[in-house]
Every structure is written in C-alpha cells, then in structure tokens.
Amino acid sequence: MTLPSMPLSPAAAPEGLRFAFYGRVSTEDNQDPAASRAWQLRRASGLVDPKGGTIVAEFFDVDKSRSIPWARRPQASALIEALKNPARDFDAVVVGEPHRAFYGNQYSLTFPLFEHFRVPLWVPEVGGAIDPANEAHDMIMGVFGGLSKGERNRIKIRVRSAMAAITATEGRYLGGRPPYGYELVDAGPHPNPAKAADGKRLRRLVPHPAYSLVVKWIFAQFIGGRGFFDIAEELTREGVPSPSAADPARNKHRIQVAWSKSAVRVIITNPRYTGRQVWNKQRKDEVLLDVNDVALGHTTKLRWNDRDQWVWSEQQAHEPLVSVADFERAQSTLASRGHGPTTHKPHRTRRPYAFRGCLHCGYCERRMQGNWINDQAYYRCRFPAEYALANKTVHPKLVYLREAVIIEDIDAWLVTAFSPARIETTIEAVTAQASRTGNPAATGLRKQVAACEQRLNQYRAALNAGADAVQVAAWINETEQERARLKGALDAIPADQAITNDGLAELLHQTGELAHAVVHAHPDDKADLYRKLGLKMTYYPQKKLVEARVSLTSTYADGLCPRSE
C-alpha cells in the first residue's frame, strides 16, 4: 500500500539537525541483521541527508519480534531513556521502516513520549517529521501499525498451513529434537531447488540400535501394569542413559542424570513411535503480560492442543517402534489410572502442619513434605537411592523429623530473638550485615537477574547445538521478559535507600509482637504466622540440628535451634 507524502512546514527541517536512527530486525524468518540494518539505515539517510540532517546515533534491535512493545525492546527502551536526557546528543529521531518499528497500537502509545520531550519523529512515509496536529499523519501511522500486525498474522497463517500440508501429505521431518529411540539420517536434497542449491538436505528418523529397544521395553512394562516411577527407578538402577544423557549435545540446558517420571510419560504419550509424523501437538498463545497494564504487551505461552487438532501423516513416515494398537492401549491405561473407585475415607478435617513450606532438608535443600503418623505431624524427605547415586549425593532414602520435637524450641527462640532486651543487639547485627551486603532487596534482585542471564546463555548454547528453535525461542523470550521485569524492579529501588535505627526498632517491635502471637496461636494458624515472619528452617540429621532463620524485608535474625533424639 502506497500513501502520498504529506508536506511539512519550512521550520520542520533546520540545517544541521542531528538524528538518532532506530531500526529493528527479527531473525525468526532467517533475515540477515547486517543487511536489514543497512537498507533501513540507507532509507533513513535518504530522508534526512537532502535536508541537511546527520545521523549521529543508532538504536537497532536484533532478534526482537515487532509484537514486543518498545518498553521491552532493549534498544527501543534505551532510546526512550535517551529522550528523557536534556543533554542528549541528537535533536530528532528517524525511522527507516515504520512496519519494523511499530505494530498494532504501539505508535499511539509511543509517540506521546516524543511529543512530550519535544523530539521530532521522522518517517519516510510522511516525507519528514510527523506533525502532532496533523490528523492525516496520525491516520497514516495508525494504518501502518495495522498493516504490520496484519502482515505478521498472514505470515503465521501461511507457515502453519504449509507445515500442516507437508506433515499430512509427505510426512516430512520438520525439525527439532528427535524423539528418544530415534536418530536422524540424511534423506536426500531439499525439494526446494534454491535451498538444494545452497546444500540444504532433508532428514528422516530411523530407530537407534540401542535406545529403540528401551522404548519398546517401556511400552511393554507400562501396558503390563507398571507405573512411571517404577519404570524410571529400574532404568536408572540398570544404568540406562536418560533422554538427556543419550543426546547431551542437544540437551545442554537439562540435568543429564537419572530418569524421571515425566521422561517416561513423554515417551508413553508420544504418537510418533507409531511411525506417523505428528504436528500441531502444541500451540503458541499470546497472553497479556499484565492484565492491569495492557501497554506492556503480550508474552508467548506454549499450550497443548486437543488430540483432535493434531495433524497426522497419511502414511507411515518412519519405522514404528510400537504398533498403533499398543499405543492406544497405553493411552487407555493412562486415562483410566486415578479415576477408579477409592476405598480411602475422607479426612474429617485438614491435618495441620505448623511448618508447612518452612522446613528444608539439609542433604538436598528440598522442602520436606508433611506426613501424619500415629496422630502426630512429621516431615519427611524421600530421595530414592538410585537418584542419589546418579546425582552423586549422599542422601538417606528417608529423612524424618517429628514436629513436636522442635516446635517449642522454635517458639522460645523466636520470642527471645525479638525480646525488648535484644532490640539494640539485633539492630547492631542488622546494620553490620547491611554494610557488608548492601540493600538486601537489591541483592536478591541482582541474583535473580544473574540467574536469568545464565539461563539465556544455556538456551543460546542449546540453540547452537541444534535444539528445537521454536521451543528454545519461547524459553528465551520468557526469560528475557522476566529479566526485564527484574531489572525494572531493581532500577526502582533508590540507590540511597536505607532504614534508620528508629525504623529498625519499630520493625523489630512489630516482629516481636508477631512472634509472641505465634506461641499462643492455634495449630491451624501457626503456619500462616510462620510464613509472615519469613521463617525458614534447615534440618541436618547428621548433626541433629535445625538451623532457623527469619527473613523480613529490611532485617533478619539468625540462630540455631538444637534438638535431641
């Protein structure tokens, strides 16, 4: 669609105007970022150079979908921050291609910032700067946002329709990680002549000489009545490599130890073991990142489709490992489990666990689970020996702790720790800790940001190793959104945020009142009060010791609670 350029006022292009260029490219459709930047920059220069302008700064987002709002694009958000700086080194902003910059209603949400900071926005489609008072300019930019959204939707429809047709009629392998039990072999040149000329080849699935037998064994055992956990334990005990360990190059982002119940379940429910190619088992839904702030845009969520929406190949595409009849028997067995009549009597009341979610195992650092024995509350950590061996962890099969053994000592410690006589000592400890570690909230956020960056590096390594690009891209997008949210929360914390001694005394006084309330609370209410206190405990069976810690927003208290057998 070509729209006429709108005339500008003579004052719109003063001599020597300095410009910041903004562009964006998404590599989802195999675009070349360097080439895309070059032609967008060339188009922007062709607009400003004849009018005496000069591009002095560049903001170019790579591998960012147009559907992502400006606030969540790294370079676009950096440009917005630069607008706020009165000492910025540019006078105006030029966009080489509005289709790449704005999507849907992004223009109407972004342009008010340019207008507020009095920074002109130039686009080739209007022949210069956008006039805020010109309704035609506003209409043109709105139309381009709609066209950009429509173009993206049309591409999605074409790609999905083509993949469905290729799956149904040809049974072609469409990429991604091969299922456990199969490996990839060459299947000849690509049917597209241009891609074939570039050396691209088709691939197909063939049974792995060893792991295909494991898949057949798993189906036979499950149909015979064994459960996921039982099968997983035996496979780990016999030293059979798990799916992650069998293909470590494609699974660098996974823990490649032992078999899990979920790995067995994935095998049992995968219809590709019948020899048919299956596509569209999952879909990508775009959901609002924050329902209270629509301007933040959407995030992509992978969700399972109903079985009647799956696309099956009309003919067998590769050698089957199980028959269709056995596969259907496995699905029927899976669907029937857990839905039969029960002989368990319902509990009259919910069994209370005072330390629900607060108590951790000192061996593996996992939360201990509540367990009711002989009308008493216990906490246990169950860790099969096979998993301990695979994870190189020394861990008893079962770790038990009776609630009654420690609850009185914990309550007494809480009351003592926040007693008025210890207020000054606690303030000194908190102040010393704050001087060593800085703002605890900021420290926690920095650790979470670092964890996100570590996950991103792992995902990119998995992508380079040949992992499923669609799946990894979804993980990367989710992690980048989480990192952006954490960075926003971190930036919102004032650098000089501090709490006075009077404020600490007031906070500790309130905490002491809560600690006293715990002692006299009903057992059903203790768990909520412990949670409000931020109580976290770690049980070390080998030392017969429970380490207790209270973590509040601005302070904490540490201590050890001894226990005896």
Strand pairing class (545-551; 535-540): antiparallel
Write down the pLDDT at residue 122: 94
Question: Strand ranges (DSSP E) for 104-195?
Answer: 121-123, 128-129, 182-189
Residue with tokens 């109580």: 535
Residue whose token pair is 């040949």 = 466
78-82, 473-477, 480-484 — which is least confidently predicted?
A: 473-477
Give the distance from CA 300 to its chain's centroid: 10
Residue 347 has pLDDT above 80, yes or no: no
Most confident of 12-26, 108-122, 288-302: 108-122
Q: What angle do CA 453, 455, 460 make, to 5 degrees?
A: 95
411-426 mean pLDDT: 68
Q: What is the largest CA-CA distance in the chain?
A: 89
Tokens of 246: 């069998």
Q: Which helix (H) or strand (E) holds 218?
A: helix 211-223
- How far from 232 is each of 166, 213, 235, 397, CA to CA, in Å? 35, 15, 5, 16
Report the distance separating Cα 94 and Cα 175, nearest Å.
39
pLDDT of 510 above 60:
no
pLDDT digits (tens, 9 = 90+) for 57-76: 999 998 888 888 888 888 99
Of 29-33, 264-268, 301-305, 411-415, the one with minimum mean pLDDT is 29-33
With beta carbons less than 8 A apart as the criterion, state whether 140 and 102 touch: no
Which residues, including other chains, have CB under 8 Å from residue 183's CB and lie 6 or more apart? 205, 206, 207, 208
% of the chain at pLDDT higher than 90: 19
pLDDT in the model for residue 121: 94
The pLDDT of residue 563 is 43
Contact residues for 72 (Cβ-Cβ < 8 A; gap 6+): 296, 297, 480, 481, 484
- Average pLDDT of every residue of the chain: 78
CA distances from 510 to 100, 514, 515, 556 (A): 54, 6, 9, 13
**66, exposed or middle or buried, with CB in 10 Å at 0-12, 13-18, 19+?**
buried
491 vs 361, more confident: 361
Q: What is the mean pLDDT of residues 17-39?
A: 83
Q: How confident is the model at residue 560 (pLDDT cuts 50, 70, 90)?
A: very low
Q: What's at 143, amino acid-wise?
A: V
Better-predicted residue by pLDDT, 560 or 120: 120
State the residue for tokens 């380079």.
464
Beta bridge partners of 370: 379
- CA 146, CA 141: separation in Å to the nearest integer? 9
pTM above 0.85, yes or no: no
- Considering 96-105, 208-217, 383-392, 480-489, the range whose residues carry the highest mean pLDDT is 208-217
Other Cβ atoms within 10 Å of 534 Cβ, number: 16
For residue 116, what pLDDT band results from cuts at 50, 70 and 90? very high
Q: How many CB atoms lie within 10 A of CB 95?
A: 23
Q: Are strands 278-279 and 54-62 parallel, antiparallel or unpaired?
A: unpaired
pLDDT digits (tens, 9 = 90+) for 288-338: 777 777 777 777 788 888 888 888 888 888 999 999 999 999 999 888 875
Degrees, nearest 5: CA angle 384-387-392: 125
Distance CA 136, CA 120 (A): 16
Distance CA 556, CA 151 (A): 54
Give me the mean pLDDT over the 378-397 stretch: 68
The span from the CA of 328 to the CA of 391, in Å, is 35
Q: Looking at per-residue confidence, does 24 or 30 come out higher?
A: 24
CATH code assigned to 182-191+204-277+313-336: 3.90.1750.20
Rounded to whole angstroms, the Cα distance separating 274 from 181 reads 12
Cα separations (Å) of 284 from 147, 234, 307, 470?
A: 22, 36, 16, 10
Other beta carbons less than 10 A from residue 360's beta carbon: 19
Spatial CA neighbour of 505 closest among 428, 442, 439: 428
Which amino acid makes up residue 136?
A
Of the pLDDT bands very low, low, confident and very high (cuts 50, 70, 90), residue 46 is very high
Average pLDDT over residues 339-351: 50
Q: Which fold has domain 10-153?
A: Rossmann fold (3.40.50)
Query: In the structure, what pLDDT confidence band is assigned to residue 558 with cuts at 50, 70 and 90?
Result: very low
Q: Both ends of the chain: CA-CA distance in Å?
A: 81
Task: Give the other-Cβ count within 10 Å of 526's Cβ.
Answer: 23
* pLDDT digits 0-9 by tens, 74-91: 899 999 999 999 999 999
Distance CA 539, CA 367 (A): 10
